[in-house]
Structure 1
Amino acid sequence: MKKIWGRKVLGFAVGVCLLLTMICQNVAFVSAEPEEKTVVVNFEESLNETMSKTIEILNLFDISEIVVDSGKVSYSREGDKVTVTVSEGVYRVGPHTQNVTLTIEDDKGIFDEKTSYNVDGYEGILTKIDSGYDEAKGLYWVKYQGSVTKENCKFYQYTVTIKYTENVRPEVYLTEPKRGMITNGKINVQGYVRDENIGDELKLFFSFDSYDESMTGNLLNENSIISDGTWQEISGTIDLSPFNLKDGDHDFYFWAVDKRGVRSVGEIIRFTLDTVPPEAPVLTPDKTESTNQSVVVSVYYPPDAVGREIKINDGPWMPITDITKNDQIIMDENGKIEARAIDEAGNISEVAELEIKNIDKIPPTAPTINTSADETTEQPIKATIVPGVDNESGVDRTEYCLRGASTKDWEKYDEGTEITITALGETEICARTIDNAGNISAETVKKVTIKKKEDSGGNNGGSGGTGGNSGNNGGSGGTGGSGSSGGSGSNSGGGNNDGNGNDGKKDDEILQPEPNIPGAGGSPVDLSVFISADKSKYEEGEVITFNITYKNKTNVQANNVIVKAGIPANTTVEDIAGGTQNGNDIEWKIESLKANSSGKIQYKVKVNLLEVPEISSSATASITASGTLINKDDDESRTIFLLYSNRFGENFHGKYITGYEDNTFRPLNNITRAEVATIMANILGLKQEVAGGKTYTDLSKSHWAYNNIIAVTEKGLFTGYEDGSFRPDNFITRAEFATVLANYLGLKNVEHDELNFADIENHWAKNFIEEIYRVRLIEGYLENGLRLFKPDNYITRSEAVTIINKMLFRGPLEGAKVPFTDVEEGYWAYGHILESSIDHYYVRNKDQSETIVNKKQ
């Protein structure tokens, strides 16, 4: 038996099944060869030793084996058509009879009714069936017909068996790009392709935003992939610039085509093209005046920054987290700070630059003291001071003091004025120059002396009486003196020798007051503390970073300060930050906290394995100190966050907002106070029937939102206006909206030490605005390097549901369509509108979004 073996024989020699398992993300890929099929081609018995036949095998990939029952076999193919040729087979010998027709011509036209036939071994008698005359030829003709037989003929018959494999559609699986990715100009393609037809030649194609089976597409790589039957890696980079795509959402289609033109099922991946760079960071120093202290520069990055980089002087660009954990750079010397933001798409912002020039740690030169004399006799000495020189921050002032016979505390010297020394004895004149940064020069000291004039002729005063009740007056002073009369006698003796050149009078003595020790008198202390988390949602196993800021807001020192923070349930301490763990609390003890000073603590905990899918959690920080504490509302602070696990499968969220009767959402419309009240009532699950204890002057029971407004009022979310009105159909302002959310979360109306928004300093709602910023519900707007809240602007329906979703730890939702006609896919708030407006089961994604799960009820 003759055979022709194809490429598949090698595969069968290796094994009947080829199994390759690849782990790619969470997918297990298994490779198997396509099934081998068989077709039989029969050649009927024939006198021909060599025969050919063409058959069609639909969707043919390869012929692995062709066998003929005798002789030789070969084949050729064109597409699905296969031509089989056989020869040299086994034959049988026997007579062969066939019908023949014989035509004879002559010029006489005399023909027999029968004639004998003997040609090529075939013999027989033929019978006349027709005759006539051909005028054109001028000849008569006769036609005979009959059966003739040839003895000892060779008869050939073949049966051919063909084993083949059908062409299998290729498959593709992409690991990159990720669904929902954002890019600014390139797509990196990574993944796998498989074709079970070993040896098949595969090419990879892609297109954007449209696809059909007839399109050619764009070639990923020039080189083809030769299939080995397993999942084979593929990679490539696509430059988007030639395709003229606009910023926004696009669909990326990707497929493989084998050499027969059969294509795989296409992958479709939604991505976003974003070529707009983020706003530049804002660099804000804590000091702009000259200083001899370090300058702390706060770096504010835009909300869409995923890469936050910093560069100091001529150093390299590096993530700011490599330098600091709180986005603050401490500059000990003058220098240059540069910052840039990188968004998720890879766009790089303009570079923000800040030149620190106000640090001066070099003291000025010492001043010079000039005097009218170094020593005199009972004559005043006058002094002037030439201030020292400072070439850095400049001279702020020069001070002087006097020590010795004349005394004076340090006080400012007005340049050009004269200092007059009149006291007898030695006086030290001390001077120092202070620059604008607070550096103090070395002291200059000059000693001057005013001597007493020598007494050359004066006599002692007369002696007093001998002890009588009233002594005599003393004698007059001598001619060289100025002695006074002797004192009158007293009960205990004679007169005193009272005469001296300055009438016995001394310079006044200056007493230094005792230093004022802060808090020594038991003064009340006002402290504050605030806690925040680095994110709002944490999956089990993730680390939560808490930041605590605390401050002494009074002008006296606080002693024995204790900052305490709770360890949230379902977490374990990861970094205690130098504190002491005491049960479920961490304590940091601070022996003394100077007046008007502040500090920061950063500690970390890790989320444990959870026993339920989601837990709304919180962390609390507090501060205490010795003595009397005042204004204690801000002595405790709480922040909120969500703990979740995807091990339990899908979870459920109910809708809390509906659209309008015309099936629209009207995302750009401003939202009214009544609509917000209704949303909050839905969230709280308040029933429509209410007690109605509270009323508003402008709210009737016929208003569509009456019950909801009264319900949320009774819950303390709204209070109305001073005139007793509610104004239900007024648009709600951003400040009012912030206050409602703060009331819902139970946040306090406490003043923050620093404001994060430049436009709320004197606003009535600034405390609530700062509180909801602290718990990561809002970001505000960055304009011209300033963070703004725009408190009196109205808020749109899109903005409202986005912020409420953040408050509820929900969304954005992916994998479904919004039920409204006026919200297009690709709109910035699409996922948050979807989240708020439909009931859905979901799972949480790593980027904190949600994907809908279709679950049969």
Structure 2
Amino acid sequence: MKKIWGRKVLGFAVGVCLLLTMICQNVAFVSAEPEEKTVVVNFEESLNETMSKTIEILNLFDISEIVVDSGKVSYSREGDKVTVTVSEGVYRVGPHTQNVTLTIEDDKGIFDEKTSYNVDGYEGILTKIDSGYDEAKGLYWVKYQGSVTKENCKFYQYTVTIKYTENVRPEVYLTEPKRGMITNGKINVQGYVRDENIGDELKLFFSFDSYDESMTGNLLNENSIISDGTWQEISGTIDLSPFNLKDGDHDFYFWAVDKRGVRSVGEIIRFTLDTVPPEAPVLTPDKTESTNQSVVVSVYYPPDAVGREIKINDGPWMPITDITKNDQIIMDENGKIEARAIDEAGNISEVAELEIKNIDKIPPTAPTINTSADETTEQPIKATIVPGVDNESGVDRTEYCLRGASTKDWEKYDEGTEITITALGETEICARTIDNAGNISAETVKKVTIKKKEDSGGNNGGSGGTGGNSGNNGGSGGTGGSGSSGGSGSNSGGGNNDGNGNDGKKDDEILQPEPNIPGAGGSPVDLSVFISADKSKYEEGEVITFNITYKNKTNVQANNVIVKAGIPANTTVEDIAGGTQNGNDIEWKIESLKANSSGKIQYKVKVNLLEVPEISSSATASITASGTLINKDDDESRTIFLLYSNRFGENFHGKYITGYEDNTFRPLNNITRAEVATIMTNILGLKQEVAGGKTYTDLSKSHWAYNNIIAVTEKGLFTGYEDGSFRPDNFITRAEFATVLANYLGLKNVEHDELNFADIENHWAKNFIEEIYRVRLIEGYLENGLRLFKPDNYITRSEAVTIINKMLFRGPLEGAKVPFTDVEEGYWAYGHILESSIDHYYVRNKDQSETIVNKKQ
């Protein structure tokens, strides 16, 4: 039996199917050969040794085997038509009879009725069937017909079996792009294609937004794929720019076509084209003034940022989560921070830049003390001070104090003025220079001495006369001095003994004329003091740095000024800053504070080991002076902070805000006055049953927040508007929100010496805004080098809970999912929204964020 083999995989055993499984995402692909089919071609018995026959096999892909029962076989094909040729087969020998017709012509026309036939071995008798005359030829003709037989003929008969495979439709499966993907201009194609017809040639095509079977489409790659019968990887990148697609949703169609033009079932993937970059992040430092502390920079990314990157100085771009968990960068040194946002489509925002230039940890040089003399005898010594030099943040002030024979607590030195030392004995003049960042120079000390005269002075003057009507004059002063005359007698007694050698002065003091001090005669004095801490949360063992600023706001000098600051409970003094500790207070005595002058004090305490997990603490500073004090609301100041320990395990925070009925939070929505009132009611734990003494013209008892609004009104957090309305459904402004928080914290409506925001100078709420800035609840916006508060802008729900969490020393929370469908993980306020909206047990992290823990039962 003769065979012709096509492209058949010989390695497959009969009856065994080789399964090739590829794992692609969650799909298991199984490779299999197409089914092999058979067709039989019969060649009828014939005297021809070589024969050909053409048949049509519809949808033919390949002939794998062709077999003839004898002889040789070959084939050729054109499309579905196959021509089979056979030859040299086995034959049989036997007689062959066939009908023949014989025509004979002559010019006589005499023909027999029968005639003999013997041609090529065929013999027989033929019978006349017709005759006639052909006038054209001029000949007679006769036609005979009959059967003739040839003995010993060779007869050939063939049966051909063809095994073949049909053309199978190719298949495609895409793993990229993902359904619902967002792109800014390119589609990465990855996936698999399979054609069970091994050796088939495949091309890949795609189109956008329309498809039909007659469409040619766009070619993914120029090179064809030669099928090996398995799932084969495909990949390519499509640049969308030539297709002029607009931003929005589009359909991506993808299919494969084999060499016969049969195409696969197409993949259809909906995607979104987005070429608009996100907004640039906002970089906000917690300090813009000169400081010797680290600067904490908060990075606010836009809501659509899925990639949030940061670059510090010349370092590489990296995800901000590689540096910090709460989007705050701690800068210990001056440097440059850059931030950029990347949206889901891959668009990159403009780069936000912030140059930190205000960190100065280098103290100024020590000041120089110049004196009129190092030593005198009963003569005043005058001193002047040349301030130290600071090439970083610049010199803020120089201070001096006196120790020894003359004493004076540290006070500001006004350059060019003279310090007069009058007391007998040795006096140390001490001076230090403080820069704008709070760094203190090394202390310069110079000792001066005023000696007492060594002679005895003049003799006593003569005694006063004895009592009488007029008394006698005292004698003249003795030599060596200018003793004064004795006092005159008076009606009631003798003269005074005034004539000692020191002109009536004490032996150990040189007196100077008292200056005419403004305010000493009883003019009222207006002072102010403010205290702030360098952070809002402190773990046990950490150092708290307090800054006190004080000022004489009047045009007269204040005398005997005392600045006092409390030492918070659970802390120990670290740096008394030249003051004197008196129990739980530190006092700084300032002999005189010139008109309209101010000063700063920076002292430090350390947090002790705590006996409970958390303590809400505060520190208070006050200022007093001799005489009458006026406008005393700002003579005392308080700041707040949290002390905490992680030694006690988990702690608990309750939620204070809920979402909407559709399970959304709506983070970008502006928050209403009624919603804020409800939050504050929850924080204060107020009962919703209220007396209702206060009413508003536009608030009915049917309003959903009626009880909450009345409750916080009675607590003094809200007051309403001058027309008697509350406007519960109005969005609350940033200024109104600041006022509510200030009222909650008990902060005073006092004017600050300097404003930290450039846009609130004439605003009704500027005092409250500055107060909540002082206690580190807000930071504002930095635009064109100016810090702005935007007091009349509305505040979003995300911003509101973030600020309230700061006020409550809470969050951001990590380790759980928000209970809302519209807040995606990675959103800048995700942790604060989570903190405010679920009850949770937590531990505090080193960066002061919180991690949720499961409460042990």
Q: Deviations over 1:312-337 (max 9, x none)?
A: 11111111112111111111211111
Shift of 1:374: 3.1
Q: What is the CA–CA distance in structure 2 between the aligned matches of 1:576 and 1:59, rounded to whole Å? A: 98
Moved more, 176-185 or 654-663: 654-663
1:73 Cα shift?
Answer: 1.9
Structure 2 distance, partners of 1:211, 1:127, is: 74
- Taking structure 1 as reference, are residues 47 and 289 closer, same or farther at Cα in structure 2, changes over 3 Å only? same
Aligned-pair CA distance for 1:582: 39
Contact 1:63 / 1:162 at 8 angstroms: preserved in 2? yes
What is the alpha-carbon distance in structure 2 between the residues aligned to residue 274 and residue 830 of structure 1? 24
* Separation (CA, whole Å) in 1 of partners of 2:410 and 2:603: 46
Q: Cα gap change, 1:335/1:546 in structure 2, threshold over 3 Å: closer, same or farther?
A: closer
> CA distance change for structure 1 residues 403 and 164 in 2, over 3 Å: closer, same or farther?
same
Deviations 1:119-173 (A, max 9, x none): 2122233333344444444444333333322222222222222222222222221
Aligned-pair CA distance for 1:539: 33
CA distance in 1, matches of 2:424, 2:579: 61
Taking a change above 3 Å as real, the CA distance of residues 220 and 462 of structure 1, as seen in their structure-2 partners, is same
The 2-side partners of 1:429 and 1:495 are apart by 43
| Structure 1 residue 181: Cα displacement | 1.5
Output one character per residue of 1:516-539: Cα deviation in whole Å (capped at 9) or x when no partner: 999999999999999999999999
Query: Taking structure 1 as reference, are residues 521 and 705 closer, same or farther at Cα in structure 2, changes over 3 Å only?
Result: same
Residue 42 to residue 285, structure 1, CA distance change in 2 (3 Å): same
Contact 2:248–2:272 (Cα < 8 Å) also in 1: yes
> How many residue pairs get matched?
857
1:110–1:651 CA distance, 2 compared to 1 (3 A): farther
Distance 1:473 1:348 in 2: 102
Q: Retained in 1: the 8 A contact 2:459–2:501?
A: no
CA offsets, 1:265-285, max 9 Å, x none?
111111222222222211111
Structure-2 separation of matches of 1:378 and 1:612:
61
CA contact under 8 A between 2:457 and 2:501: conserved in structure 1? no
Question: Could you tell which deviates more after superposition, 475-484 or 13-22?
Answer: 475-484
- Contact kept, 8 Å, 1:323 with 1:329, in 2: the verdict is yes
Aligned-CA RMSD value: 13.4
Mapped contact 1:22–1:231 kept (Cα < 8 A): yes
Partner of 2:173: helix, strand, or coil?
strand
* Whole-Å separation in 2 of the counterparts to 1:349 and 1:208: 28
Say whether the 8 Å CA contact 1:179–1:270 is kept in structure 2: yes
Indicate the larger mover: 697-706 or 143-152: 697-706
User: Aligned with 1:10: secondary structure?
Assistant: coil
- Cα offset for 1:365? 2.4
Q: What SS does structure 1 have at the residue aligned with 2:709?
A: helix
2:284–2:779 CA contact under 8 A, matched in 1: no
Q: Distance in 2 between matches of 1:59 and 1:604?
A: 91
For residues 361 and 700 of structure 1, do their structure 2 counterparts lie closer, same or farther at Cα, with a shift above 3 Å needed? closer
Worse-matched range after superposition: 164-173 or 545-554: 545-554
Tell me: CA distance 1:441–1:561, structure 2 relative to 1, closer, same or farther (3 Å).
Answer: closer
How far has the Cα of 1:207 moved from its partner? 2.1
Q: CA deviation at 1:492?
A: 22
User: Could you tell me how far 1:383 is from its partner in structure 2?
Assistant: 2.7
Contact 2:467 2:492 in 1 (8 A): yes
Task: Describe the SS at the equivalent of 1:321.
Answer: helix
The 3 A distance-change label for structure 1 pair 376 and 826 is: closer
Q: How much has 1:103 moved relative to structure 2? A: 2.7
Deviation at 1:107, TM superposition (A): 3.6
Unaligned runs of 5+ in 2: none
Counterpart-to-counterpart distance in 2, 1:840 and 1:620: 32
8 Å CA contact 2:757, 2:786 repeated in 1: yes
The Cα of 1:106 is off from its aligned counterpart by 3.2
Alpha-carbon separation, structure 2, partners of 1:327 and 1:811: 13
Q: Which moved more, 1:366-375 or 1:729-738?
A: 729-738
Structure 2 CA distance for aligned equivalents of residues 647 and 53 of structure 1: 96
- What does residue 134 of structure 1 align with? 134
| Mean CA deviation greater in 44-53 or 672-681 | 672-681
Q: Structure 1 pair 278/270, CA: closer, same or farther in 2 (3 Å)?
A: same
State how far apart, in whole Å, the 2-side matches of 1:348 and 1:158 are: 75
Contact 2:368 2:385 in 1 (8 A): yes
Q: Are 1:756 and 1:787, in contact at CA under 8 Å, matched by a contact in 2?
A: yes
Q: TM-score, normalised on structure 1?
A: 0.61
Q: Is the 8 A contact 1:310 1:339 kept in 2?
A: yes
Corresponding residue for residue 850 of structure 1: 850
457-466 or 583-592: which moved more?
Answer: 583-592
Deviation, structure 1 residue 306:
1.5
Asked whether the 8 Å contact 2:408–2:591 carries over to 1, the reply is no
CA contact 1:20–1:29 (8 Å) conserved in 2: yes
Q: Per the alignment, do residues 328 and 541 of structure 1 end up closer, same or farther by CA in structure 2, a change over 3 Å counting?
A: closer
CA deviation after TM superposition for structure 1 residue 10, in Å: 0.9
Rounded Cα–Cα distance in structure 2 between residues aligned with 1:428 and 1:757: 43
Preserved contact between residue 116 and residue 124 of structure 2 (Cα < 8 Å): yes
Q: Which moved more, 1:547-556 or 1:468-477?
A: 547-556
Deviation at 1:729, TM superposition (A): 13
- Give the deviation of 1:669 after TM superposition: 16
Q: Aligned-pair distance for 1:85?
A: 1.5
Note if contact 1:470-1:490 (Cα within 8 Å) is conserved in structure 2: yes
| Residues 203 and 620 of structure 1, relative CA distance in 2, 3 Å threshold | farther
After alignment, is 806-815 or 281-290 more displaced? 806-815
Answer with 214-223 or 494-503: which moved more. 494-503
Tell me, in whole angstroms, the C-alpha distance in 2 between the residues paired with 1:644 and 1:127: 134
What is the CA-CA distance between 1:442 and the residue it aligns to? Answer: 2.4
Q: Distance in 2 between matches of 1:64 and 1:610?
A: 87
Q: Deviation at 1:574?
A: 36
Structure 1 position 340, deviation (Å): 1.4
Distance 1:385 1:279, change over 3 A: same
Change (3 A) 1:755 1:517: same
C-alpha contact 1:407 1:510 (8 A) present in aligned 2: no
* 693-702 or 349-358, larger mean C-alpha shift: 693-702
Contact kept in structure 1, 2:47 and 2:155, CA below 8 Å? yes
Q: Is the 8 A contact 2:380 2:450 kept in 1?
A: yes
Question: Is 37-46 or 749-758 further displaced after alignment?
Answer: 749-758
Distance 1:608 1:146 in 2: 136
Distance 1:327 1:404, change over 3 A: same
Please identify, of 153-162 and 141-150, the stretch whose mean Cα deviation from structure 2 is larger: 141-150
String of CA shifts for 1:60-113, please: whole Å, max 9, x gaps. 222222222222222222221111122222223232222222233334444444
- Partner residue in 1 for 2:64: 64
Q: Equivalent residue of 1:526, what SS?
A: strand
How far 1:482 sits from its partner (Å)? Answer: 5.9
| Alpha carbons 2:383, 2:420 under 8 Å: kept | yes
**Residues of 2 paired with 1:797 and 1:438: CA distance?**
37
CA distance in 2, matches of 1:432, 1:651: 46
Deviates more, 1:537-546 or 1:698-707: 537-546
**1:709 CA displacement:** 18
Worse-matched range after superposition: 518-527 or 397-406:
518-527
User: Residues 676 and 436 from structure 1, CA distance in 2 versus in 1: closer, same or farther, beyond 3 angstroms?
Assistant: closer
Q: CA 1:614–1:560 in 2, change beyond 3 Å: closer, same or farther?
A: same
- Aligned partners of 1:178 and 1:269 also within 8 Å: yes
TM-score, normalised via structure 2 length: 0.61
Residues 776-798 of structure 1: CA deviation (Å, up to 9, x unaligned): 99999999999999999999999
**d(CA) in 1 for partners of 2:850, 2:534:** 20
Deviates more, 1:424-433 or 1:717-726: 717-726
The verdict on how the C-alpha distance between 1:38 and 1:457 changes in structure 2, with shifts beyond 3 A counting, is closer
Q: Secondary structure in 2 aligned to 1:11?
A: coil
In 2, distance between residues paired with 1:240 and 1:413? 71
1:239-293 CA distances to partner (integer Å, 9 max, x unpaired)?
Answer: 3333333322222222222222222211111122222222221111111122222
**What do the CA deviations read for 1:744-792 (whole angstroms, capped 9, x no partner)?**
9999999999999999999999999999999999999999999999999
Kept in 2: contact 1:249–1:826 (CA 8 A) = no
- Deviation, 1:17, is 0.7
- CA distance 1:97–1:544, change in 2 (3 Å): farther
Q: What is the Cα deviation at residue 656 of structure 1?
A: 25
Superposed CA offset, 1:288-317 (max 9, x none)? 122222211111111121221111111111
